Amino acid sequence: MAARLTLKFWGVRGSTPTPIAANLGYGGNTSCFEICSSGGQRIIVDAGTGAFNLGRRLMQDAGPDGMSVDLFLTHFHWDHIQGLPFFAPLLQPGNRVTFHAAPPPQETRRRLQCQMMNPFFTLDFESVRGQREFRQLQNETVQCGDIAVTSFPLHHPQGASGYRVRCNGATIVVATDVEHGDAKLDAVLLEHCADADLLIYDAQYTPEEYASKQGWGHSTFEAAARFATEARARKLILHHHDPTHDDRAIDEIVLQARRLFDNVAAAQEQCTIAL
């Protein structure tokens, strides 16, 4: 039976890329992953440094008429957009990249333009050769082919969006940057996580680390396990690994998380999950 949805991680790290040997089991690139339907539809979530390798892979399959890409941004902190200037489909003529994000279209355009302006980058955002489109997605559902994407707000400095992705009865929930503890937004998150086949959740800190980093906008594996349990999620993926956590540290985090929720793993670059 063909998978209803498949997810592939291209970047799993939070805050800053850490491409050192001790981290490469899980990966050193910042947040980026793709979700594909059995019908051939693809969406991309975030454009951290993992977007570089994803973009190269997409161009290998590009036809003579180019390609259309739907890119959903959770927010605009650098670890979620810093691969965009190197995202090959954006740089080639004939391609169209549609940016879905919470701000109004002109504001999304302005924010993405800032990181490529002189003297921070050699190519201005307005000079890329691919076509660009900007769509506001705020607490609503958009249909991309046979994939439905519903956005909702997350508790994070300057705000962030989570996404509930559905296709043919399969559900993936994305909560890459979120800090637990805001009762109102925790309830919103729990509502959108309900009965998810796969929950991707921010687990940047251990509980001990979180004690000194409360308010920084990130969560723990304990909170991730609690949300997965209360939402009756079938599988939990810990995401947004801290740059100080090497492979051995993440292995230990997974072991501790499994004492709280059975079906849990850590996000790993190049890993594909089929539902």
Of 270, 222, 215, nearest in space to 32 by CA: 270
Higher pLDDT, 101 or 3: 101
Domains of the chain (ranges, CATH numbers): 5-274 (3.60.15.10)
Q: What's the pLDDT at 65?
A: 83
- Reply yes or no on whether the pLDDT at 166 is more than 90: yes
User: Which structure tokens are listed for 3?
Assistant: 């998978």
93 CB-near residues (< 8 Å, 6+ apart): 66, 129, 130
d(CA 154, CA 177): 7
Strand order in the sheet with 96-101: 131-136, 96-101, 68-72, 42-45, 32-37, 5-11, 272-274
Residue 227 · residue 189 · CB < 8 Å: yes
Q: What's the pLDDT at 1?
A: 58
- For the segment 143-161, the average pLDDT, to the nearest whole number, is 97
User: Which structure tokens are listed for 159?
Assistant: 């705000």
- For the segment 226-236, the average pLDDT, to the nearest whole number, is 97
Tell the burial category of 223 from Cβ atoms under 10 Å away from its Cβ (0-12, 13-18, 19+): buried
Q: Considering the entire predicted model, what is its pTM?
A: 0.97
- Reply yes or no on whether the pLDDT at 63 is more than 90: no
- For the segment 218-236, the average pLDDT, to the nearest whole number, is 98
The single-letter code of the amino acid at 183 is: A
pLDDT category of residue 64 using cuts at 50, 70 and 90: confident
- For the segment 210-217, the average pLDDT, to the nearest whole number, is 96
pLDDT category of residue 49 using cuts at 50, 70 and 90: very high
Cα dihedral sign, 274-44-271-251: negative
Mean predicted lDDT score pLDDT of the chain: 96
Q: pLDDT tens digits for 172-211?
A: 999 999 999 999 999 999 999 999 999 999 999 999 999 9
Strand stretches in 102-228, DSSP E: 131-136, 141-144, 147-154, 160-167, 170-175, 198-202
pLDDT category of residue 102 using cuts at 50, 70 and 90: very high
% of the chain with per-residue pLDDT over 90: 96
- For the segment 61-88, the average pLDDT, to the nearest whole number, is 94
Q: What's the pLDDT at 3?
A: 83
